[in-house]
Structure 1
Amino acid sequence: MVNVEEFSKRLTIVMNYYEISAASLAEKIDVQRSSISHLLSGRNKPSLEFVLKILKNFPEVELYWLLNGQGNFPKENRKEISTPTLFSSNEEKNMVKENLKPTLKNAKDNSIERIVVFYNDGTFRNYNP
């Protein structure tokens, strides 16, 4: 559950970091000024749409930090980690596909469409075999 008072403090930190007013923030993320005022006063809880607009327009804001204070603001500069090659040859790919085929009778083309790995920082990575 989001602590409304703590959320409003973190929202104020974001506004101070970007040196913008509540009115400027409302304009930038396309919400009514009163919405910002109600959030800052602790009267209203942030909606999912509001949080997503903040994350979209302010890339230095981390989701977990904004919602519950865990993590860092601004985001740490992380070096891009290259994705390791899962398979070195088509033969290995085919071998893995064969081993992962479903064993159910009458399964209609139940091949793997994609694999999604979720990370603790809220990011994810898609792998398409």
Structure 2
Amino acid sequence: MINSTEFAQRLQKIMELYQLTASAFAESVGVQRSAISHILSGRNKPSLDFVLKILEAYPDVELYWLLNGKGPGPVKESNEETADLFNSSTTPQPPVNKESYDSEDKITHSTPNGNSRKILKVVVFYDDHTFEEISK
């Protein structure tokens, strides 16, 4: 029999390891967000289907560890290459002339075609899969 409290703690460890919120974890596994919430709070016990979806989405998670807490837990490999949208380039870039960026007096403020445009909203995305909207 699965101890729901301990299972919830192991589920929390998986989410922390992959730096996922409950919502992002639910999406990655393919279940409702409420299912994660109910299991973490102890309201519901995990179903077989739920456990199988976790194992399918996260193959490094061992079934025996997930159910009983015995055996090796999941370990995120440090040599794992992850795509970083901001640090990788898909096309070769020409070398940058550093001198052109060092001079502040070359910076001018202009509006193309004389149109005055204003920023209405800025959206900031964080690495924990959350975002913040800043509106004027």
User: Shared topology, TM-score over 0.5?
Assistant: yes
Q: Percent identity?
A: 59
* Cα deviation 1:94-128 (Å, max 9, x = unaligned): xxxxxxxxxxxxxxxxxxxxxxxxxxxxxxxxxxx
How does the TM-score come out when normalised to structure 2? 0.54
> How many residue pairs end up in the alignment?
77
Q: 1:63 & 1:34 partners in 2: Cα distance?
A: 23
In structure 2, list runs of 5 or more residues that go unmatched: 78-136
Q: Does 1:52 align with 2:52?
A: yes
Q: 1:11 & 1:25 partners in 2: Cα distance?
A: 10
Please report how far the alpha carbon of residue 29 of structure 1 lies from its aligned counterpart in structure 2 after TM superposition. Answer: 1.1
Give the structure, 1 or 2, with the largest relative contact order (CA under 8 Å, sep 6 or more): 2
In 2, the alpha carbon distance for the partners of 1:54 and 1:37 equals 15
- Which aligned segments of 4 or more residues in structure 1 are displaced greater than 2 angstroms? none
1:102-113 matches, within 5 Å, as: none
> After the TM superposition, which residues 23-102 of structure 1 pair with which residues of structure 2 at under 5 Å, given as runs?
23-74=23-74
What letter is aligned with 1:62?
Answer: E
The aligned residue for residue 16 of structure 1 is: 16
Matched position secondary structure for 2:55: helix
- Name the SS of the counterpart of 1:40 in structure 2: helix
Q: How far off its partner does 1:18 sit?
A: 0.5
* Higher CA-based Rg: 2
- Secondary structure of the residue that 1:10 maps to in structure 2? helix
Structure 1 position 30, deviation (Å): 1.2
TM-score normalized with structure 1 length: 0.57
RMSD: 1.7
Q: Distance in 2 between matches of 1:42 and 1:68?
A: 16
